Amino acid sequence: MLTRSALLDAAAREVDAHGYGSVAMRHVARAADVTTGALTFHFPTKSDLFAEVAELGLTRMRERADEVARLPVAPLRRISLLVLALLELLHDDVVARAAVRLSRELPGTGDWSDSWLPAGREMLRRADEAGQLREGVTPDAVAEMTLHLVAGTEMCAHGGAPASDGGDGDGGAGGGAGGARFAALCDLLLYGASALRPPGPAPDPPRTASPRTASGENT
- Residue-wise pLDDT tens digits, 114-140: 999 999 999 999 999 999 888 888 999
**Lowest mean pLDDT across 38-52, 134-148, 199-213:** 199-213
Q: What is the pLDDT of residues 63-118, one digit of tens each?
A: 999 999 999 999 988 998 998 899 889 889 999 999 999 999 999 898 999 999 99
| pLDDT given for residue 47 in this prediction | 94
Name the H helices within the chain: 4-18, 25-32, 36-42, 46-69, 75-92, 94-105, 117-129, 139-158, 161-164, 176-192, 211-214
Q: What is the largest CA-CA distance in the chain?
A: 77
Amino acid at site 129: E
- Burial (CB count within 10 angstroms: exposed 0-12, middle 13-18, buried 19+), residue 115: buried
With CA atoms as reference, report the closest residue to 118 among 58, 73, 173, 72.
58
| pLDDT given for residue 201 in this prediction | 52
Average the pLDDT over 199-211 and give the result.
48
Please tell me the distance from the alpha carbon of residue 50 to that of residue 103, in angstroms, as a whole number: 10
186 vs 146, higher pLDDT: 146
| pLDDT given for residue 149 in this prediction | 82
133 vs 1, higher pLDDT: 133
Please tell me the distance from the alpha carbon of residue 191 to that of residue 63, in angstroms, as a whole number: 25
| pLDDT given for residue 91 in this prediction | 87
- What is the separation of C-alpha 149 from the centre of its chain, rounded to a whole number of angstroms? 10
| pLDDT given for residue 164 in this prediction | 36
pTM comes to: 0.75
| pLDDT given for residue 36 in this prediction | 94
- Whether the per-residue pLDDT at 219 is higher than 90: the answer is no
Please tell me the distance from the alpha carbon of residue 210 to that of residue 176, in angstroms, as a whole number: 35
Q: What is the pLDDT of residues 36-51, one digit of tens each?
A: 999 999 999 999 999 9
Average the pLDDT over 141-155 and give the result.
84
| pLDDT given for residue 171 in this prediction | 41
Average the pLDDT over 18-37 and give the result.
95
Which of 82-91, 92-101, 176-185, 203-212 has the highest average model confidence (pLDDT)? 92-101
